[in-house]
Amino acid sequence: MSIRAKISLWYAGLVTLIIVAFSVAVFGVIQATIINSIDSGLAQTSSNIVRNVRVIPFGEFGALETSIIFRNDEIFRVPGLSIQVWQTSDGEQSIEPILLQSSFDLSGVTRPLDASQLDAERPAFTSVTTDNMPERIMTRPFTTVGGQKIGVIQIAASTLIVEQVTDGVLSIMITATVIGVIVSIGLGMMVSYRAVRPIQEITAAAARISTATDLSTRLPNNVADDEIGRLTKVFNHMMARLEHIFGVQQRFVADLSHELRTPLTAIQGNLDIIKRFGSDDASIEAIQHETHRITRMVNEVLMLARADYGDITIDLYPVDLDTVMLECFSNFPALARARDRHPTFKIGRQESVHISGNYERLQQVVYNLVVNAIKFTADDGTITLSVYHRDQAYGVIEVTDTGIGISETDMERIFDRFYQADYSRRHSSDEDGAGLGLSIVKWIVDAHNGKIEVESQLQKGSTFRIILPLFKETQNDLKAKEDVLHLSVTAPLPMKDR
């Protein structure tokens, strides 16, 4: 069953339930109101009769007897009411019920209106059917002046009108319920259509995406800010991310193919030379060099792929950033000479920085940043490394070069995999990588809960700034040192020193 059908059925069921509950309540209120009105009339008439009944006790030779006198016979001529007065006691004991008086419409009728209530000790209302005629009967006892029960008064009113009214109301309510159910089903279909239409659009869009290569499909955003509207926004956001991811994947495959084609071509060419002219040291060395290049590239791609799937975990422990930087620094001149580069390496700002990190991965970050700086720095240029604190909460690794800088276009993509700046603007070398170094740096920094800042000006140089959270104990120590320094600066000098 479709969601639309379920919504329609639920809507129709709820509306039907409301109509039925309302109808039952109205029916009960109408019936109770009419019955209460009849009972009120019966009670008032019985009170009038009791006020006009006079019970006179008398006796002869010690025997006590009573005489019942009705002061006004008009009390028995109430339109629409049937009245009987029965004597059930002689003042001392019960006797066979005697009909003392009745209304004119009951002439010749000697049976009680309700025989079961002749012994009633208090006023009672009952509903009986006599000769297929529904009646409402009130039975009220009357007593002597001393409070002894003498008999009962029974007054009956036809409730045929009540049944007629309630039957009419019931018919109307049944008809209204049927019409309400039909209308509610129609309205439910309309409401469910409007409610489900955005979901159908999302389903259709997803179906188009699953059968096509166009990921630019978006749903209209001109919807209300409700659950469907938020679902639409989430769907569009998901599509934007999918489009970006697939675009990155396509560029990744294309760039990887391009990067592998060059060394494979070189290997194939040298193999052809060996096959034609025999083995020589130059060809073997070239094949070995290109094989090493492919191996390094595959290892880097494999590492990034495993990182994407969460297959690589980085253990964090207390690390001194300045120690990481100094240990790497000693290897940078040899690293530059291997690429036939001879820039000047300097240590700038150096502070003891204690963070939570991974020593080997942080070394890889520094190594990749320096290799990137060597590519774009001339022999007379300078590469400066610094380590320092920021805001008492972060440690910073900073690599600054005086190279050719980075353009705004390149700045947007420098962390993309296999992306490399214009070859004509950098100092290439056989030891250069495939454009994965900065991608690896970004992944490592993200794994350390850090961030990267890049500042660059063309023909003036670039600065890569790695910002990492300090080790918590270090943060507390720095705060304490600052408090002590603040106290020492603001405290007044002793009198003898002034």
Encoded tokens for 173: 């309510």
* Model pLDDT for residues 102-160, shown as the tens digit of each residue: 888 888 888 898 888 888 888 999 988 888 888 899 999 988 777 788 889 999 998 88
CA distance 436 to 417: 5
Of 1.10.287.130, 3.40.50.300, 3.30.1360.10, 2.40.30.170, the CATH number of 227-308 is 1.10.287.130
Encoded tokens for 401: 């070069």
Whether 486 has a pLDDT exceeding 80, the answer reads no
CATH class of 317-482: alpha beta
Mean pLDDT for 166-171 is: 84
Asked if residues 442 and 361 have their Cβ atoms less than 8 Å apart, the reply is no
CA distance 292 to 431: 10
Domain with CATH 3.30.450.20 in the chain: 3-166
Strand ranges, E, within 109-241: 124-130, 133-143, 149-158
* Model pLDDT for residues 425-437, shown as the tens digit of each residue: 444 554 555 567 8
CA distance 396 to 349: 10
Q: Tell me if residue 458 falls in helix, strand or coil.
A: coil
* Model pLDDT for residues 445-480, shown as the tens digit of each residue: 998 999 999 999 988 999 999 999 998 765 555 555
Asked if residues 89 and 148 have their Cβ atoms less than 8 Å apart, the reply is yes
Q: What is the CATH number of domain 3-166?
A: 3.30.450.20
DSSP 261-311: HHHHHHHHHHHHHHHHH---HHHHHHHHHHHHHHHHHHHHHHHHHHHHTT-
* Model pLDDT for residues 315-338, shown as the tens digit of each residue: 889 999 999 999 989 888 888 888
What band does 384 get if pLDDT is binned at 50, 70 and 90?
very high
The per-residue pLDDT for 186 is 82
